[in-house]
Amino acid sequence: MNADKKVDAMGLACPMPIVKTKKAIDELAPGQILEVLTTDKGAQNDLAGWANSTGHKLLESKEENGIFTFWIQKK
Amino acid sequence: MESNEQTLPVQMTPHELASIITRQEELFVLDVRNESEFKDWKIEGQKLEVVNIPYFDLLDGVEPALERIPDGKRLLVVCAKEGSSRFIAEQIAEAGRSEVHYLEGGMKQWSEHLMPVKAGDLKRGGEIYQFNRIGKGCLSYMIVSEDEAVVVDPARMVQPYIDFAGERGIRIRYVLDTHLHADHISGGRELSDRTGASYLLPPQDADEVVFPYLPLAEGQDIRVGTVHIRPIHSPGHTIGSTTMLVDEQYLLTGDILFVASIGRPDLAGKAEDWVGDLRTTLYGLYSELPGELDVLPAHFGTVAEIGRTGAVSAKLGDLFQRNPGLKLVDEQAFRQAVTEHLPPQPNAYQEIRQTNMGKMKPDEETQREMETGPNRCAVHDR
């Protein structure tokens, strides 16, 4: 998936993956897509919860070798 | 201007939190995990007020939280592991609030904390200690007499038992499980490996167990110091469930009888088969035992069951007066109560049973995850 911006939050623990995600998405225009990389297992549920409460759309996610990748579309 | 100290939150240890709960002190808890984790499992206490606002809803500022936190009340912020609670606690403290704490190690460490409380003295010399895993509602026991001890239903984290015995110069001679557990991983094998104690299990529950153990059977007389411990076969929660009678004084009921409920018969997938056994154990066997016995169960359902002394216990006779699970005289009503509308099963209960049989060997992190959430071993848990 093509992303307009990428956040590398690998190796960071809660709350940093979401803090960085929020910062990055604030800099995007509506409809643009953000890619987030994290190794924090807990970020999975939290990103979904955050997207849900902010209205941004979690398009897709995958896990590969302990790395979680998320694609989020700005509302 | 606020002084410097007031702008820093203070770490609270799980031990401090456990003491606040058992002493029934007031505390306001702000749980910043996501809603689904909070709904599944949270910190409970009789004088605790607990509110859930996920940390990711406070990234634009903590004002929504400040509105709900009463000023001047001790505050504890908690999350899964610690990081997010500290992040939020710092901002709340910066906003000028005092007495702001965050929980060391988060819910992860809370779920593993064990607190020993003296449950009573033994008439012929010795004491019985209840180890309360308060975050999960699991109770285990150390029965001490002279310089020897028996540990009953140990939790996965065995160091607290080893330290407790070590500090008092006590040798742990026996470790036993009253049944094959489905809600937590037993520390029995590890504790026996590390202390050289014998590990006893009810053989009826151990059909599929793949490691060596000694049978725990009715008719045995387990002696430590001056204490006699008699196993009584009491099936119902599992087919091998065994009650331990300690010196005609204490009754360790395992997952058969709790203070506010009774054990559920379905966790090994055999509810229908075991309903009759459960009924016979409770309404036959237990009803004929002296009412003066102090019941010491393997779980509690809510913190309201923790008494003034900090221990969870009750007289057997009193439980026949007030425990809803012991007042189902009608057989059909009993059958319905223990087979229908049961609470959800404990998290990963099948994998936990496999692990306790030695058939699965998950790493520590996986074991921790498997044990997430409340014990849910009682019929009346929710």
Q: Which domain holds residue B19?
A: 5-110
Q: How far is CA A34 from CA A25, A64, B58, B278, in A?
A: 7, 18, 21, 56
Report chain A's terminal Cα–Cα distance, integer Å.
18
With CA atoms as reference, the chain B residue closest to A21 would be: B56
Whether B218 and B353 share a structural domain: yes
What's the pLDDT tens digit per position in B158-182? Answer: 999 999 999 999 999 999 999 999 9
d(CA B114, CA B129): 12
Structural domains in chain B (count):
2
Asked if residue B382 is part of any domain, the answer here is no
What's the pLDDT tens digit per position in B216-254? Answer: 999 999 999 999 999 999 999 999 999 999 999 999 999
Q: How confident is the model at residue B323 (pLDDT cuts 50, 70, 90)?
A: very high
- B178 touching chain A per CB within 8 A: no
d(CA B54, CA B50): 13
**Residue B382 reports pLDDT greater than 80:** no
What's the pLDDT tens digit per position in B47-81? Answer: 999 999 999 999 999 999 999 999 889 999 999 99
Residues of A taking part in catalysis: 14
Helix (H, G, I), strand (E, B) or coil at B155: coil
Task: Identify the contact set of chain A against chain B, taking CB-CB distances under 8 A.
Answer: 13-16, 18-19, 22, 42, 45-46, 49-50, 53
The pLDDT score that the predictor gives to residue B2 is: 45
Structural domains in chain A (count):
1
Q: For B272-283, what is the mean pLDDT?
A: 93
Q: How confident is the model at residue A8 (pLDDT cuts 50, 70, 90)?
A: very high
Asked if residue B381 is part of any domain, the answer here is no
**Of B237, B244, B203, the residue nearest B346 (C-alpha):** B237
Whether B349 and B206 share a structural domain: yes
More confident residue, B267 or A15: A15
Whether B103 and B119 share a structural domain: no
* Catalytic residue selected from B29, B75, B76, B79: B79
Whether B247 and B170 share a structural domain: yes
- pTM assigned to the model: 0.88
CATH assignment of the domain containing A39:
3.30.110.40
- B54 touching chain A per CB within 8 A: yes
CATH assignment of the domain containing B90:
3.40.250.10
**Residue B377 reports pLDDT greater than 90:** no
Q: Which domain holds residue A12?
A: 5-73
With CA atoms as reference, the chain A residue closest to B37 would be: A45
Asked if residue B134 is part of any domain, the answer here is yes
B365 with B81: CB under 8 angstroms? no
Whether B78 and B134 share a structural domain: no
B218 with B233: CB under 8 angstroms? yes
The burial class, CB within 10 Å (0-12 / 13-18 / 19+), for B243 is buried
Helix-, strand-, coil-residue percentages of chain B, each rounded to 5:
30, 25, 45
Q: Give the residue from B110, B135, B161 where a domain finishes.
A: B110
Q: Do B59 and A53 touch (CB under 8 A)?
A: no
What's the pLDDT tens digit per position in A31-58? Answer: 999 999 999 988 888 999 999 999 999 9
The pLDDT score that the predictor gives to residue B308 is: 84
Whether B104 and B204 share a structural domain: no
d(CA B194, CA B185): 17
